[in-house]
Chains A and B, each alone.
Chain A
Amino acid sequence: MTRTRRQIAAGLIATFAMGSLALTSMHGTANAADAIKIGEINSYTSLPAFTVPYKQGWELAVEEINAAGGVLGRPLEVISRDDAGKPGDAVRIVEELLSRDKVDLIAGTFFSHIGLAVADVAKRQKVFFMAAEPLSDAMVWSKGNRYTFRLRPSTHMQASMLAEEAAKLPAKTWATIAPNYKYGQDAVAAFQRLLKERRPDVKFVAAQWPALFKIDAGAEAEALAAANPDAIYNVTFGGDLSKFVREGSLRGLFKDRTVVSLLTGEPEYLEPLKDETPDGWIVTGYPWYAINTPEHKAFVNAYDEKFGESPKVGSLVGYNTFMSIAAIIEKAGSTDTEAMVDAAEGIEVSTPIGPITFRKSDHQSTMGAFVGRTAVQNGNGVMVDWRYANGADHLPGPDEVKHLRAGN
């Protein structure tokens, strides 16, 4: 008897699981009928330092677009989800956004591998995917596909901007330090290749590969010093960068050496350094405090008014992503996927930092980055002597793209 009761209860629990499966099918249908639905997905919990400003950026864009009457007379509705930093989860969420929420397109992602996983689903299901932030070159080249577009300047583009500057330096021997994963490896390989093209006389004398977010900064600094290079190319970012800067400064690593550093001028990574910001590093970044065009000032003011803080690169990327989506739908005249893809190829979009174009050949936007030198002003890290490097100048031509995209 007791046994039977136990088994009944066991069964009840088992059927509970099935029941909640069925329950999940009930919600997610009661939305404004005429809204354009955008499924948005990003690593909100696993990388909040970058994705929270990004989210605020696109929220601002959507608010402005809808206040101006929406797109094609329809408001934008964004269904935003967290992928927990896992590609498997991301794919499941995309399936739900498509089959249940019936979104018209997918946007977002930060990590390159998640971007690639989603791009592959977009290719298979023929869905428009606007990748906002993933940096991997594979997104638009070796694994690029018809349905995937990417906004942010890629690893190759940013490395190319720095290689251009590095070539002007007298330095002959270089050492590199980069996180031990794809982004770091690509960033080093691209920089080495592009610098050698311009300066066949340079030599790379050391390469350090700290594990991502687990840098042993003192040891890395010692190892770099031991190679005694004229200049250093740095790809570490976030907490790794702070530790590297601190240990390197203390140990005199940066004395009489030029450092060329990827992404370090982005407020996300520069602001935490405060008065310890190293002097005179050549970096890519985003000097929002010094860009004085009316469009950019309007963006900074609107952002500050809505969120009470200054924009980060993520904010700009989020804003531009959704402004691009709106422009694409407007041009396509509908939310038909093929029409959107055709409209997006070659479209010019105006953004707070000037017009950008989504290239027809590889679906990469020409959004650029700012290249300048780091300095400390009033106890804060800033970029000085900067210029805007147009992304278009750092991308290969259509013939080379054809070769890069061969086989997909």
Chain B
Amino acid sequence: MLTGQILTGLAGASVLFFIAAGLSLIFGVTKIVNFAHGSFYMLGAYIAYTLTEAFGASGLGFWPSILLSALAVGMIGALAEITVLKPVYKAPPLFQLLVTFGLVLIIEDLTLLVWGPEDRLGQRAPGLSGAVELLGTQIPSYDFFLIAAGPVVLGLVWLLLNKTRWGILVRAATEDREMAAALGIDQRILFTGVFFLGSALAGLGGALQLPKGGADLMMDLTVIAPAFVVVVVGGMGSLTGAYVAAVVIGLANTFGVVLLPQATLVLMFLVMAVVLLLRPHGLFGQPERAERGHTPGAGYPAAGAMEKAIWSVVLIGALLLPLAQDDFILVLATDIAVAALFATSLHFLLGPAGLVSFGHAAYFAIGAYAAALISQQIDGPGMEIALASAPVLAGAAALLFGWFCVRLSGIYFAMLTLAVAQIVWSLCVQWTDLTGGDDGLLGLWPSDWADSRMVYYYLTLALSLAAILLLRRAVHAPFGFALRAGRDAKARAEAIGIDVMHQQWLAFALAGAAAGLAGALFVFSKGSIFPDEAAIPRSVDALVMVLLGGVGHLAGPVLGSAAFTLLHDQLSRFDQWRLLLGIVIILVSTLAPAGLSGLPAMIRAFAMRRRI
């Protein structure tokens, strides 16, 4: 039994390693957080399914089919890099994430169109379809093949990176991208090559897991979080680290299944949180090198008279909206106001503080659940007390978790916030007595005086606006200046006496409190709350809104959330809305690499050039 668990864990680790290795390579060289990596894994599985169904009856057809699938996915990855990622390399850091999110949507819909909705069960590998008895346990022979394949692929990639000129260039670029560029290494070809290799590895993972499972339309999203966990636990950019981490996570999973069957939802994230707290750069990672000639982030000048005038017009428009006599407009506008506050709170971290959070939904959900539970306990002014206490409680939670998170930086910070969010999510799911579990909490409508859609819309507008203005004020206060100083030049900021970590910690709590208010407003507009609001898609939606709007301008998150909510609402009327939304997101991001709020500056620059 022990042998069985160990071998199973190692076999699972190999598949996880293929995916994580590709992700790590791509991030190491291009610094792109590639959300579409799971989609390439899914494509690998589907393509391999089709090929092995056609040719895979014998080993002669099966193994080439697997390799061919990996190559095909590599080509698709390279093609995606050339067509949609190239145009946004000059954009601010992290913006490429938006493009990869668009790719996820497009690939999901195309896969559904090509392969249909049914789950596909893969073929067993010819010659390896049976089981071998070992110490009294039956072990599938394919597991032994997978266990061997992991280190073999690790060895091959190691040889490629260490013994070929191309590999040396890749390592140089991973180590110090600017220096590599300064030495005349053509980054364009290098990036395409890395994307080919990374995607091919993901495709290989998808193809090789086929005999153990199959292909379905949810594979892309189920694998992406574990892949990031493995990469981060191992240390970004370290292949050996990725392998060791895959083994650690694989074994933790298989033993967790025996020892703590209920913990399957969070185990991996708990492991990651512990590793990151002990080793802030993962098991084998190097501290992230501060880039030389680092361009300072956005400065966020205070609004001029003109901008103020424009916002006044927008506000008057928002106030007059009930005149349209259309309840649904108010429902939609309430959703936008909530989303705008949530996105603005994330932008406060992302922009002025320079902290990328992948788990901001945790505070949205904490605020939402706090509001729901409080209003259920109190008769009468339940909603009012709930709205007042939700930001306090969410802020307190952010203060607690933030203390751990701000000790890390960059992608490690992002992943620790994600781990926290997953822990919060699993609490929402599993603490059934308190949260109602998956069945959620129901019947949470506003107090009588605010029960009409118009009144609740005004209430949401007022509270969101107040909170957004407060965050804006914080950006222009000495606090905001200190945050920006820490973001742009940490060493210098500390030299003049700013405790950067302390400032970031407070910023984290403030952003958490604002997100908590958004969560509370959300609850009473929907009447119910479910664990989904703490889950990864909620955090990702907020990131997409902020990036779509543009990190470089304080109006960005408001524009981004309005545009995203309206787009989603309009496009979801079509059958292939994900495809359309993906295309729109990619088009917008290629045309406006500074986000929607950067458009005016672009238009101005364009007009200037025309005049000359």
Chain A interface (Cβ < 8 Å from any Cβ of B): 2-11, 13-15, 17-18, 20-22, 24-25, 44-45, 48-49, 51-52, 81-82, 84, 86-89, 91-93, 95-96, 99-100, 112-113, 116-117, 119-121, 123-124, 136, 138, 143, 180-183, 185, 207-211, 213-214, 216-220, 222-223, 225-226, 238-239, 242-243, 246-247, 250-252, 268, 271-274, 276
Residues 30-67 (chain B) with a chain A CB within 8 angstroms: none
Contacts of B578 in A (CB 8 A): 45
Subset of 10 A-B contacts with CB under 8 Å: A5-B600, A14-B311, A22-B324, A113-B530, A117-B442, A119-B442, A143-B439, A218-B254, A222-B8, A239-B213
A6-B601, A246-B213 known; A218 vs B8 contact (CB < 8 Å): yes
Contacts of B429 in A (CB 8 A): 180-181
Contact across chains for A10 and B216 when beta carbons are under 8 A apart: no
Contacts of B311 in A (CB 8 A): 11, 14
Least Cβ–Cβ distance between A152 and chain B, in angstroms? 17
CA distance A214 to B12 in the complex (A): 12
Residues 513-568 (chain B) with a chain A CB within 8 angstroms: 522, 526-528, 530, 532-533, 537, 553, 555, 558-559, 562-563, 566
CA distance A82 to B601 in the complex (A): 37
CA distance A112 to B326 in the complex (A): 30
Contact across chains for B439 and A113 when beta carbons are under 8 A apart: yes
CA distance A209 to B530 in the complex (A): 20
Contacts of B109 in A (CB 8 A): 45
* Stretch from B70-78, B240-248, B329-337 forming part of the interface with A: B329-337
Contacts of B143 in A (CB 8 A): 218
Least Cβ–Cβ distance between A307 and chain B, in angstroms? 12
CA distance A113 to B261 in the complex (A): 24
Residues 569-612 (chain B) with a chain A CB within 8 angstroms: 569-570, 572-573, 575, 577-578, 596-597, 599-601, 603-604, 607
Least Cβ–Cβ distance between A407 and chain B, in angstroms? 11
Contacts of A220 in B (CB 8 A): 257
* Stretch from B131-139, B193-201, B399-407, B461-469 forming part of the interface with A: B131-139
Least Cβ–Cβ distance between A287 and chain B, in angstroms? 18
Contacts of B607 in A (CB 8 A): 5
Least Cβ–Cβ distance between B208 and chain A, in angstroms? 14
Contact across chains for A87 and B138 when beta carbons are under 8 A apart: no
Q: Which of B326, B328, B527 has the most CB of A within 10 A?
A: B328
Question: Is B117's CB within 8 Å of the partner chain A?
Answer: yes
A14-B314, A218-B12 known; A100 vs B328 contact (CB < 8 Å): yes
A143-B439, A220-B257 known; A243 vs B527 contact (CB < 8 Å): no
Beyond the given pairs A21-B566, A22-B329, A49-B117, 13 more chain A to chain B contacts, judged by CB atoms under 8 angstroms and listed by A's residue number, are: A6-B604, A24-B566, A91-B527, A185-B432, A223-B5, A239-B216, A242-B119, A250-B140, A251-B137, A251-B140, A252-B138, A268-B118, A272-B121
B603 nearest in chain A by CB position: A9
Contact with A along B325-367 (1 / 0, CB 8 A): 0111101110110000000000000000000000000000000
Contact across chains for B118 and A271 when beta carbons are under 8 A apart: yes
List 6 tightest A-B contacts by C-beta distance, closest first: A11-B310, A9-B600, A48-B117, A182-B438, A218-B8, A7-B306
Least Cβ–Cβ distance between A237 and chain B, in angstroms? 10
Least Cβ–Cβ distance between A28 and chain B, in angstroms? 9
CA distance A47 to B131 in the complex (A): 33
CA distance A7 to B303 in the complex (A): 9
The interface residues of chain B, by DSSP majority, are classed as helix
Contact across chains for B600 and A143 when beta carbons are under 8 A apart: no
Contacts of A87 in B (CB 8 A): 440, 526, 528, 530, 532
Contacts of A17 in B (CB 8 A): 336, 559, 562-563, 566
Point out the residue from A86, A217, A223 that lies within 8 Å of B212, measured CB to CB: A217
Point out the residue from A21, A84, A180, A242 that lies within 8 Å of B264, measured CB to CB: A180
A271 nearest in chain B by CB position: B118
CA distance A124 to B451 in the complex (A): 11
CA distance A217 to B212 in the complex (A): 9
A5 nearest in chain B by CB position: B604
Contact across chains for B218 and A95 when beta carbons are under 8 A apart: no
A18 nearest in chain B by CB position: B317
Contact across chains for A222 and B572 when beta carbons are under 8 A apart: no
Contact across chains for B328 and A99 when beta carbons are under 8 A apart: yes
A6 nearest in chain B by CB position: B600
CA distance A81 to B601 in the complex (A): 38
B527 nearest in chain A by CB position: A120
Contacts of B139 in A (CB 8 A): 251
Contact across chains for B264 and A214 when beta carbons are under 8 A apart: yes
B142 nearest in chain A by CB position: A250
CA distance A24 to B570 in the complex (A): 8
Contact across chains for B326 and A100 when beta carbons are under 8 A apart: yes
A14-B559, A225-B1 known; A25 vs B212 contact (CB < 8 Å): no
Question: Is B258's CB within 8 Å of the partner chain A?
Answer: yes
Contact across chains for A247 and B604 when beta carbons are under 8 A apart: no
Contact across chains for B577 and A45 when beta carbons are under 8 A apart: yes
Least Cβ–Cβ distance between A31 and chain B, in angstroms? 15
CA distance A272 to B257 in the complex (A): 26
Point out the residue from B329, B553, B596, B599 that lies within 8 Å of A21, measured CB to CB: B329
A251-B138, A274-B121 known; A213 vs B440 contact (CB < 8 Å): no
CA distance A88 to B568 in the complex (A): 13
